[in-house]
Amino acid sequence: MAFNSILRKSGSFARALSVTAQLTKTHNTQSHRTVLLSALNQHQNLNPLLSRFQFSSVAVKNNRPTSDENLLRVIESEIECAHETDDHSVDAVPSNFPFKIHDNPGQQTITLERTYQGEEIKVEVHMPDLVTGEDNDDDHEDDNADQSSPQSSLPLSISVTKKGGPFLEFNCVAYPDEIVIDSLSVKNPELAEDQIAYEGPDFQELDENLQKSFHKYLEIRGIKPSATNFLHEYMINKDSREYSAWLNKLKKFVEA
């Protein structure tokens, strides 16, 4: 039955073309395309064919919501802005930098490793806490005000391990040309999880000479301002790279 229906429609289409030829002779002032459409529209059985023909000749429109299109434009603008502000500099590691850098894309930290006289030293470097100075008031206060003004900082977690025993763990914050030790603890890897070890007093409560000695202890192992200042710039560049990658992931998701 379906095949016979197709044949009938094909015959109807042929008759319509015949009518078109006659109309073309009697209406020379009309274009061939206008005459053809008139002939097809006069035959009701061909309307489904005509509608399908018209639909196939028009490109399928994008059904993405307008809000998504606006979001895409904003994301693309932000990607372009991030690309323009990025200095595209290669993080050249100083020749005297003692650590090997492990930088995995997509993570907000990097890991430094080195061996020093049989000790395994590992440093986890976090994203910097930047202070631009734009929010500082222009008040003319006493000369000591600048000493309490906030500075950009870089959080560090440092572990010093010796074979077959406990290890030291430092939590530090690196400022420009200064490293502050927030805490120091002795970790025992053999301690059961349900046991709480005594980790010592607050570092700031230690004797001043002991505090200075631990600062020197870290400096000898490579944790010093010359290294942390480089790491500060390195992490700023990493933050820019990660932000650009994050924007591109957003764009791909919205486009999908």
Of the candidates 234, 142, 231, 218, which has an alpha carbon nearest to the alpha carbon of residue 180? Answer: 218
Question: Does the reported pTM lie above 0.85?
Answer: no
How far apart CA 185 and CA 199 sit, in angstroms, is 5
Contacts for 2 with CB less than 8 Å, ≥ 6 apart: none
pLDDT digits (tens, 9 = 90+) for 78-120: 998 888 877 656 568 999 999 999 999 999 999 999 999 999 9
Low-confidence winner among 60-64, 135-139, 153-157, 178-182 (lowest mean pLDDT): 135-139
Tell how strand 110-116 and strand 100-102 pair up: antiparallel
81: helix, strand or coil: helix
CB of 212 closer than 8 Å to CB of 251: no
How far apart CA 215 and CA 225 sit, in angstroms, is 11
Q: What is the mean pLDDT of residues 231-235?
A: 94
pLDDT digits (tens, 9 = 90+) for 49-73: 444 444 444 444 457 778 888 999 9
Contacts for 178 with CB less than 8 Å, ≥ 6 apart: 225
pLDDT digits (tens, 9 = 90+) for 171-201: 999 999 899 999 999 988 776 666 677 778 8
169: helix, strand or coil: strand
Please check the confidence at residue 147 and state whether its pLDDT lies above 60. Answer: no
What is the CB neighbour count within 10 angstroms for residue 232?
19
How far apart CA 169 and CA 157 sit, in angstroms, is 7
How far apart CA 102 and CA 113 sit, in angstroms, is 8
CB of 181 closer than 8 Å to CB of 157: no
Take residue 160 and report the two structure tokens written for it. Answer: 């010093």
